[in-house]
Amino acid sequence: MKIALIGYGKMGKAIEAIAKERGHEIVLTIDVNNQQDLTVENLEKADVAIEFTIPSSALQNYLLCFDSGVPVVSGTTGWLEKKDEVLKAMQQKDGTFFYASNFSLGVNLFFALNKKLAELMKNRSEYDITMEEVHHTQKLDAPSGTAITLAEDLFDIHPGKTSWTLESPSQAEQMHIEAIREGQVPGIHRIKYESEIDYIEIEHSAKSRQGFALGAVLAAEFSAGKKGLLSMNDLLNL
């Protein structure tokens, strides 16, 4: 495939390496220094765009991709307050938008484990629930997009929690998320169920960005010829 990379930071570089290993061609690379090159004309040279930038840039990048008719695969987090605007534009332009807060197979298995544990624990009110995520010090958003996905999936199943907070909870229904920024940590997520007697904890820890990058390239391959909103559940059939 011909790939346009939008965002050439830690993830853009990791994706470039895996894409080339899989025989794909990078026909456009956009970072902050050449944003003027992100045009419909240039995007049309690609079969797919892979976008990993910053929360404040994602929407404008998606809109340009929808205008170009090129499918966009994005992992950028921290923009979900604009989700309705993105989906409306995608529908209006008959676009293709593959979004995942986390593209790694391991985390998507962890998403499934989170749901199963929430089912098991939903009537065990003696256990309180907290979450922790740990990432590198360059991360701009908190909590992580992965943590928000985990929390929202849990709220859909477990009646004891309905919202999250980074602060100390003021109500029993609030789940505390501890967002820790440390060194160069690629990404750790923990969910703990704790009672007076014991605690149960599940954890996913990324050793590098390889899993995220491979998942994004597989999502780009999967998106070819498809329309609408796509997710890792479509790709992995979990």
Ligand X SMILES: O=C(O)C1=N[C@H](C(=O)O)C[C@H](O)C1
Distance CA 48, CA 22 (A): 15
Instruction: Classify residue 104 by its DSSP letter.
Output: -
Sign of CA dihedral 95, 210, 112, 180: negative
Single out the residue of 6, 129, 154, 230 in contact with ligand NDP (rule: CB under 6 A): 6
State the number of binding residues for ligand NDP (CB under 6 A).
Answer: 27
Q: How wide is the angle at C-alpha 133 spanned by C-alphas 82 and 214, nearest 5°?
A: 70
135, 161, 189, 204: which is the annotated catalytic residue?
A: 135
**DSSP secondary-structure letter at 70?**
-
Are the CB atoms for 88 and 60 separated by under 8 Å?
no
Q: Is 95 in the site for ligand X (CB under 6 A)?
A: no
Q: 170 CB contacts (<8 Å, ≥6 apart)?
A: none
Judge whether 13 counts as a catalytic residue: no
Residue 77 is a binding residue for ligand X (CB under 6 A)? yes
- Tokens 């495939």 belong to residue: 1
Catalytic site includes residue 176: no
For position 3 contacting ligand NDP by CB under 6 A, the verdict is no
| Binder of ligand NDP out of 68, 96, 102, 108 (CB under 6 A) | 102
Rule CB under 6 A: say whether 103 interacts with ligand NDP.
yes
Q: Which of 10, 93, 139, 176 is catalytic?
A: 139
| 144 near ligand X, judged by CB under 6 A | yes
Q: List residues with catalytic annotation.
A: 135, 139
Residues of this chain that interact with ligand NDP (CB under 6 A) are 6-12, 30-32, 35, 52-54, 57, 61, 75-78, 100-103, 138, 145, 212
